[in-house]
Amino acid sequence: MGWLELSIEVEQRSLSRVEAALEDLEAASITLLDAEDHPILEPGPGETPLWPQVTVRALFHDHVDRIGLFDALQIMVPWLTPEKITARGVADEDWTRVWMDTFQPMQFGRRTWIYPSTMEPPADLAADTAIVRLDPGLAFGTGTHPTTALCLAWLDQLDLRGKTVLDFGCGSGILAIAALKLGAARAIGIDNDPQAIIASRDNAERNGVVEHLDLYLPDDVPAGLSADVVVANILAGALIALQPTITAHCRNGSPLALSGILANQADEVAAAYRADFADLAITPQEDWVRIDGVRR
């Protein structure tokens, strides 16, 4: 089965009307994209911002009455004339499988590798290689983003044997799982999204380490919880706001890594942590940086 894709560029103020019309016409899916270069990197708490110009893409089954569909749209949204709509046929594919078929293993540091479930690592890898099984397409990170890559490379160069590692903002659990594969005795994941907790637990089960991973929503974190190593891959504003909490989880002498920071935000984040952490270092990758240091 194929699909008909409609692409419509609208102003933010008109978006809700167009979305409602497409939903009433039983679109199989509706996707919103940035029509221009207006990145939203760090929305405030509770905000769901949109771009000034939005490209709306709607999928319909290819057997739909196209003339009737265009006529109905024009009645429901009078300014939406046919010349403002781009239509094209889309083949029916297993998009996840297509992506996974092109997804290659990724190495971070010397020992850490991310492998999809569809591929087996070679038998001649070094004995201390840490293989993390994680498939692409997850909402919370697979290691491809520079912020995650910076944290994985940092964990890779630490001696984690027997240590407790805290992953603050655990998302998919990729950092906590990697820490356990690198020899940590225990990992702790904290995230304010219940779906992230579910994803982390599922991924830990697939990697055979779930019995060594504790997962918490912020309100459920035990009092006095601390760790030997702490990594927080969130966003600059949250890192600054949560500095007292993150610092409290770090034992004296604990290494700390902070990521999710744009290069132009590095000084502000470092200033928030400098009083409590020594030897702060900034490591860049593309437009992002990692800040790491040691708890005083």
- CATH number at 169 reads 3.40.50.150
Same domain membership, residue 184 and residue 143: yes
pLDDT for residue 35: 66
The dihedral built from the CA positions of residue 6, 7, 9 and 15, taken in this order, carries a sign that is positive
Domain-terminating residue out of 55, 74, 92: 92
pLDDT for residue 48: 53
Same domain membership, residue 126 and residue 220: yes
Question: pTM for the whole thing?
Answer: 0.71
Judged by DSSP in three states, 51 sits in coil
DSSP result, 59-83: EEETTS-HHHHHHHHHHHSTT--GG
Domain-terminating residue out of 23, 57, 92: 92
Same domain membership, residue 107 and residue 86: no
Domain count, the chain: 2
DSSP result, 77-146: STT--GGGEEEEEE----HHHHHHHH---EEETTTEEEE-TT-PPPTTS-TT-EEEE--TT-TT--S-SH
**Structural domain harbouring 126:** 101-295
What the block records as the tokens of 122 is 């070679």
The amino acid at residue 72 is: A
Q: Which helix (H) or strand (E) holds 24?
A: helix 15-24
pLDDT for residue 294: 98
C-alpha dist (Å) from residue 199 to 28, 140, 173, 262, 266: 26, 8, 7, 26, 29
Same domain membership, residue 169 and residue 55: no
Domain-terminating residue out of 32, 66, 92: 92
CATH of the domain at 52: 3.30.70.120
* Side-by-side strand order, sheet with 130-133: 106-108, 112-115, 130-133
pLDDT for residue 33: 79
Same domain membership, residue 178 and residue 49: no
Same domain membership, residue 224 and residue 131: yes
Same domain membership, residue 65 and residue 164: no
pLDDT for residue 94: 56
Same domain membership, residue 223 and residue 112: yes
Task: Spell out the per-residue pLDDT of the chain, length 296, in tens.
Answer: 688 889 998 888 888 899 999 999 999 888 887 766 555 444 444 455 567 888 899 989 888 888 889 888 988 898 887 778 899 888 776 555 555 555 678 899 999 998 887 788 888 889 899 999 987 554 345 556 888 999 999 999 999 999 999 999 998 899 999 999 999 999 999 999 898 899 899 999 999 999 999 999 999 999 999 999 999 999 899 999 999 999 999 999 999 999 999 999 999 999 999 999 999 999 999 889 999 999 99
Same domain membership, residue 188 and residue 207: yes
Give Cβ neighbours of residue 266 (< 8 Å, ≥ 6 apart): 282, 289, 291
Q: How far apart are CA 178 and CA 187, in angstroms?
A: 10
- HSE (side-chain half, CA atoms, 13 Å) at 106: 22
Q: What are phi and psi of 4, to 5 degrees?
A: -105, 120
pLDDT for residue 74: 85
Same domain membership, residue 277 and residue 164: yes
